[in-house]
Structure 1
């Protein structure tokens, strides 16, 4: 019990730290913004602690299938941290911020080719946007997109070559998929495969669709301004992380469907062998 509470508190603290990272790193954060950040961080800590302190999950998927959630957390944390460091370098330059800015500029220019997600998010800006802001967004988008691609690559290696999620023991479908209703109708394996395809397809489309939708609706609604540092950080992080998270979830669901299919094949083979022996 003590070990579970300690682990839940540690996870809650890390989630709260993730939310507070931009406010901690960026200079000159307003008092009102700091209070909102603290409130959201405390709320995230409470929700994470309650979720991981319970015997059975209620919201978080793949809770007992490490390192799926750890990889997603690290992806978002490094994205937010690096973008915050880039923002801090604008007012308080150091060797670290200068090096990261140079590396991010190279990445942004490399990924900024026609019809790429980075090019689309740059085109999302108003035509009269400042050149420095355009360069900063291109650099931030290049960093965020590369981190997401690396996270997806690492997860594919874990699934295909390291045997995730069964290398550490048996995988309980109903515990790790608390939001999946097995009684909703239809074959469970086919539903998992369908959900996997939908998640992967949406994950590939979102980096292209989101900038196009924002640009197309900018005349109808108030456009998102990326001139505020924290707004830029969270917008770019969400733009890169959410599609990658959906693709990883789709790969995970497809892997679970494969495990169910393999188990059925073994059960059918054992039943056939039993009938032949009888």
Structure 2
């Protein structure tokens, strides 16, 4: 009980730090913005604490199948931290931040080619954006997308080479997939594979769909101000994190489907031997 509460408190603190990081580290943040960010951070921390302090999950999937959620959190944490440091370097440069900016510029330029997701995000910049502002958008987009791709590769390696999730013990299907309704009808195996395909396909399409949706929305509503550092950080972080998170979920669901199929195959084979 105490160990679970302590773990929940640590996770809640880490989640709150991610939400508050840009507002705290970036200079010139207004008091109203800081108050709003603190409120959102407390709400997010409370939700995480309640979820992880309870014995059984209600919202968060794969809670007892590490390191699925840890990889997703590290991807978001690293993205927000690096983009915040790059934006801070525009006002308060340091040798370390300047090196990071050079790396980000090289990554952004390498990933900015015709019809690439990075190019589509650069096209979201306002027409009046200056070349340095365009470089910032390109740098943030390239860096965030690269971090997400790296974390996806790490998870795929864990699934293929380290036998996730069985490497951490028996996998409890109903505890780790609380949002999956087994009574919805149809074979569980078929539904898992269908959901896996949908998540992977949507994850591949979202980096292209999100810029198109934002561009269309800017015609009928107020467009995003990508010249504002905090807006730029959260826009790029969400744009890179959501698709990779969906792909990871799709890969995880397919892995669970493979385990169920293998278990069924063994059970059928054993039943046939008993009959024979």
What TM bracket, shorter-length normalisation? over 0.9
- Hey, what does 2:264 align to over in structure 1? 264
Report the counterpart of residue 168 of structure 1 in structure 2.
168
> Could you list the runs of 5+ residues in structure 1 that have no partner in the other structure?
none
Deviation at 1:261, TM superposition (A): 0.3
**Structure 1 runs of 4+ with >6 Å offset:** none
Distance across 1 between alignment mates of 2:46 and 2:190: 36
**TM-score relative to the length of structure 1:** 0.98
Which region of structure 1 is more displaced relative to structure 2, 118-127 or 245-254?
A: 118-127
Partner of 1:184: 184
Query: What pairs with 1:187-206 in structure 2 (closer than 5 Å)?
Result: 187-206=187-206
Alignment map for 1:3-18 (pairs within 5 Å): 3-18=3-18
Structure 2 residues not aligned, in runs of 5+: none
What pairs with 1:1-278 in structure 2 (closer than 5 Å)?
1-276=1-276
Q: Deviations over 1:11-39 (max 9, x none)?
A: 11110111111122111211001111111
1:164-216: CA deviation from partner (whole Å, max 9, x where unpaired) = 00111110111000000011000001101000100000100010111112223
- Residue deviations 1:132-162 (CA, integer Å, cap 9, x gap): 1110010011100000000110010011111
CA distance in 1, matches of 2:235, 2:124: 12
Cα distance, 1:126 vs. partner?
A: 2.3
**Structure-2 separation of matches of 1:174 and 1:199:** 19
> Take 2:138 and 2:222, find their aligned partners in 1: how far apart are those partners?
22
Tell me how many residue pairs correspond in the alignment. 276
Bigger shift: 255-264 or 23-32?
23-32
Choose 267-276 or 99-108, whichever is displaced more: 267-276
Structure 1 residue 229, shift from structure 2 partner? 1.2
* Distance in 1, Cα, partners of 2:38 & 2:236: 21
- Deviation of 1:131 after TM superposition, in Å, equals 1.3
The root-mean-square deviation of aligned C-alpha atoms, in Å, is 0.8
Give the Cα separation in 2 of the matches to 1:61 and 1:242.
15
Give how far 1:217 is off.
3.0
CA offsets per residue over residues 48-74 of structure 1, 9 Å max, x none?
111001010000000000000000000
Whole-Å separation in 2 of the counterparts to 1:185 and 1:125: 46
The separation in 2 between residues aligned to 1:189 and 1:257, in whole angstroms, is 6
Asked whether the 8 Å contact 2:125–2:137 carries over to 1, the reply is no
